[in-house]
Homo-oligomer: A and B are copies of this chain.
Amino acid sequence: MQYKVIFQPSGRRGMATNDKTLLQVSRELGVDIESPCGGAGKCGKCKVKIEAGCLNLSPLTEQEKAMLTSEEQVDNFRLACCAKIQGDVMAFVPEQSSGGKQVILETAQERHFNLNPAIRKYYIEMEKPSLEDYRDDFMRLTDALTGRFSQLKDLQIDYSVLLTLPDSLRQSGWRVTATLWQDKEIVAVEPGRVENSYGMAVDIGTTTIAAYLCDLATGNVVQRDSLLNSQVRFGDDVISRISYCMMNDDGLACLHNLIINDLNTLVARMTHAAGLNYENIYEMVLVFNTAMHHITLNIDPQYMGRVPFASAIRSPLNIKARDLGIKIARSGNVHCLPVEAGFVGADNVSVLIAEEPYKRNSMMLVIDIGTNGEIDLGNAAGMMSTSCATGPALEGAQIKYGMRAAPGAIERVKINRYTYEPACQVIGGADGLGAQPKALVKGICGSGIIDAVAELFKAGIIHSDGRFNKELNSPRIRRGADGKMEYVLAWSAETVIGQDVTITQKDIRAVQLAKAALYAGAKILMQKKGVAKIDSVVLAGAFGSYINKESALVIGMFPDCALENVTAVGNAAGEGAKLALLDLSKRAAAREIAASIQFVETAAEEDFQKHFFEAMDFPHAKDPFPHIKYILTNFPGR
């Protein structure tokens, strides 16, 4: 049986087979409904309001009864992942359940590198063939190249370039520009003198894909763009994606095709914007976590999703773009940075080649915050890394009003420690605290959550163990519908979702779990290395906004370090990808560090639990951070 299904407010409609869930159908119709738990009925983010056809759905499940308030139940709310279609249905997707466009922050930080790309162009002129000089076109070309440029030898040609070589040489009067990859393989031959050549660096995050279109002749970034990873519809974290591949026969093919389409969309959009076309892109450098690595390459990720987390391949790879279905120049290569181990992927290697802790004498801690936290510790004498499951709280998921860093997300919070009134900065709102049009508020993103928890603690609204101080008198500090304490960041009138946006006791607990995992991971590395004190900390992550380093320190996300030696760098993985595109020596460095870094499996460490529980509390002293005193004195509205 087939039934008619309509989603509002988009108005998308289509036919659905019996017993498919609303979530499944929404995916088929391209309607973006939040489902961080991957449709497992656990997160309660996929609430939709049934506007017609309530009785044409399967009965309320136990999960729905637990997740939906009795008011919501009366108002015909359902969880899209639980409600199965058994007749015609029209559903309304409320603002807070709807996926939005991700905002990606570009780092302003300038990094030094030598322009030394894999792709280089060489202009040459040749004698035309004669009965006396009957060399073939390929030899004529390579003789000219190796004769003119002494660093070139043993040149190969990609098969697809060969197809047009005779025409290219003759139509140009034997004056051409050859494009070489690694000074080894001829990947293009163009008539006349051509100097521009382009490449693309892409950081494929679980949530966001960030791309940089670079001019390889100058090293300049000519376009930046980002896209919500289309796989987000199938779950917010890598475990959901791996599960989807394992549970569905065409799961891997489906997710693989989505990511390839996303990459092709970015190529098309960015080359169009730059007045180029896809054939001008000769190389693409990819970085990703291990799950995205496998799925992008169409390799079954199931084994790296479970103990002992063995990945299929960690070595750096060069694959013809055409073999992956990626539409750049037909002879173009895709370079994948090497993977470290288990969940520590090429993205962490990319962060390392961007930050270069292995070139320093001082002891540096690098934390890349994501759904999985990756932690690196060390210096020129040696590096260690680990990975810890922080949960998605720091990215805004599994938080009651959490959301991705999209327009409407609160990204900065200050709370007046006398009036308990907050000042919020909202993405897409006016810049600066206090001046934003509050009506935009839709939820809270990662950096906002870290800020809010830190501010709640500093204002004394929560204790160092994370519990609310119930003795304070403010309408913002109250008991929620579930009887648990919460803090109101924005009143419903200030939002577009028609609800008060709050930070709940449960949200604070999730942040505590996440930061404790990061802290414990860092502690384990320090212990393994025999280091008592770290000299500097780098906070990386594609949050959409820099994380506030003071807030991170206040909540105890990492072991103590002088604040001036803490740097928040934004999307360092994307930066590393760009550097690897522009400088071959970075690829060598990546290969070296990926092979030499010592991976520590925290699950195998007895002390991890101890450190983890010790780190659950917020650092308990009324004012334990003399070095960040200036933040308090600068507090607005004090």
Q: Which chain A residues have a beta carbon within 8 Å of chain B's beta carbons?
A: 129-131, 133-140, 157, 159-160, 162-163, 165-167, 170, 297-300, 302-303, 307-315, 317, 319-320, 322-324, 339, 341-342, 599, 601, 603-604
Contact = CB atoms under 8 A, between A and B. Distances in A.
Contacts of A139: 313-315
A134 B601 contact: yes
Nearest to A310: B129
Nearest to A315: B138
Contacts of A310: 129, 134-137, 140, 166
A174 to B, nearest CB: 11
A634 to B, nearest CB: 47
B131 A162 contact: no
B165 A313 contact: yes
Nearest to A139: B314
Contacts of A303: 137, 166, 170
Contacts of A313: 136-139, 157, 162, 165
Contacts of A140: 310
Most chain B beta-carbon neighbours within 10 Å: one of A170, A297, A302, A313? A313
B312 A138 contact: yes
A635 B625 CA distance: 117
B604 A134 contact: no
Contacts of A601: 131, 134
Given A131-B601, A136-B312, A166-B303, 9 more contacts: A131-B604, A134-B308, A138-B314, A139-B314, A139-B315, A162-B312, A165-B299, A165-B313, A167-B300
Given A135-B310, A136-B311, A308-B129, A299 B339 contact: no
Nearest to A302: B166
Contact of A314 (B136, B170, B320): B136
A600 to B, nearest CB: 11
B309 A134 contact: yes
Contacts of A302: 166
Copy tally for this chain in the complex stands at 2
A133 B136 CA distance: 52
20 contacts: A134-B308, A134-B309, A134-B341, A134-B599, A134-B601, A136-B311, A136-B339, A137-B313, A139-B314, A139-B315, A159-B297, A159-B317, A160-B323, A162-B297, A162-B299, A162-B313, A163-B299, A165-B313, A166-B310, A322-B323
B134 A300 contact: no
Contact of A137 (B137, B312, B319, B341): B312
A134 B314 CA distance: 11
A166 B312 contact: yes
Contacts of A311: 136-137
Nearest to A133: B308
A310 B133 CA distance: 9
Contact of A298 (B163, B167, B314, B341): B163
A307 B131 CA distance: 7
Contacts of A133: 308
A575 B300 CA distance: 43
A623 to B, nearest CB: 43
Contacts of A324: 159
Nearest to A303: B166
Contacts of A163: 297-299
Contacts of A299: 162-163, 165-166
Contacts of A162: 297, 299, 312-313
A400 B137 CA distance: 40
Contacts of A319: 159
A157 B309 CA distance: 21
Closest 4 A-B residue pairs measured CB to CB? A138-B313, A129-B310, A136-B314, A136-B311
Contacts of A603: 131
A322 B319 CA distance: 14
A308 B136 contact: no
A140 B159 CA distance: 32
A300 B169 CA distance: 13
A298 B129 CA distance: 21
Nearest to A309: B134
Most chain B beta-carbon neighbours within 10 Å: one of A309, A312, A599, A603? A312
A196 to B, nearest CB: 26
Contacts of A314: 136, 138-139
A253 to B, nearest CB: 11
A254 to B, nearest CB: 15
Contacts of A136: 310-315, 339, 341
B341 A159 contact: no
A129 B420 CA distance: 54
A217 B137 CA distance: 37
Contacts of A312: 136-138, 162, 165-166
Nearest to A294: B166
A476 B200 CA distance: 79
A312 B341 CA distance: 45
Nearest to A341: B134
A64 B335 CA distance: 62
B138 A308 contact: no
A218 to B, nearest CB: 31
A310 B140 CA distance: 10
A137 B134 CA distance: 49
A262 B600 CA distance: 56
A547 to B, nearest CB: 30
A172 to B, nearest CB: 14
A212 to B, nearest CB: 24
